[in-house]
Structure 1
């Protein structure tokens, strides 16, 4: 496997507003997610815990799915959610605030972008850190192993160029499928009644810090291979996540305050990754 990522970051940016015919691949299956995030990377339980321990409890957000015929389901806020028994299933990914970015050689536009992506260099601020998620480091290895289209190929089709240079799947990718994913990458929320109001806010893209912290707590309190959640450990993690005040969380709020309409030009925007992120403590990137 070999990829050309320079000036791309297509897997880190929601570039659908720039390509009206782009394939919304995450919403083609039987179970559409409730949120509208693009390429939300699932974090493992250990990665969630590592982000929390590093002070980044405020950068993670949940994904839940709409149930269809044949699924176990539980109804919350009038929505049937995919569940194990009567407990909603979710995973956690990294938040994507709007940033002024210019992927693929285009002018800068306001696009939802991974919290850790430098909007100028289009490089990840934690790429060389132990926090760098396994799914990101493997990408697009998991897609290739499953014979699924990659974001590299989607970018090539939309804008030309060579992004996927070698499509040979790597020998070892961090796939967690089936029952082994439970408690390790897919989690179950133990009390669906606690999510009353939360699901409506998720659909409206109005989750609060307290909402997100609930899911972080449950993920950390989960046990791989089971649906068991340690209540004490979950509550401790929830409290820690709720108290998080990282440079990344602060930058998300700052970008959201500055952002114009999604997909609109941002060529005259003076705010940069240096003034919004590095000024708050973000590590610099090369490029």
Structure 2
């Protein structure tokens, strides 16, 4: 997993990125392992941060692709510590590349060509191990899902993700249409507490209670019709603070998190979601609506 180059091979790395640039935007590049793709994208992203190679929209696209590559490397058997070292080496190598070099300018041009299609891409799927995220950058006149993962709790369909539209800011939201139950009195996201448990919890369940963190919904409204599963006439939209999206982005893509619904009778219903490429999806949305 250790991917790196000696100081004498900076030019060789730039040459490798020159070759890889036309396919940097592809989910899978035949000639590179997931860890190598993550290294290449991290190098270009770091070079851009230092040298200002790209405009903000392309930077957002490259950021999304880098998060994708990280998720692919982890799902291929990597671990977060090795990938953190990989990214650190990529940043160190980028720090040694001359911003005015012809090689780096050529890398910039080829990356622009590789990501040109992203600026015109309105919708994208970010698959995971068992569930994925659907992203949508199109402009709508009413609230719509910009990033969403769907599941069911019992007979009740649940959608979770980022809702936007109508000129209002994006909000992390859970929408549920309860079947045979009253409305919950409170809803919360439960996930690993990174300040207590620094290593990812990769079981298909939550970590022990002492290692969990809860983030409560900050409000609830009637869900707009466009946010509901087809065939459902009504539902509730529970909105979470912006810090919740940041907390989910910090999780390992192989981890799960749970949305819990608390009812007046003391019962709790739960919806389980896969973190997956949530961070990559958010970066894709940051390219702006089209």
TM-score using structure 2 length: 0.26
Structure with the higher fraction of residues in helix conformation: 2
Bigger relative CO (Cα 8 Å, ≥ 6 apart): 1
* Structure number with bigger Rg: 2
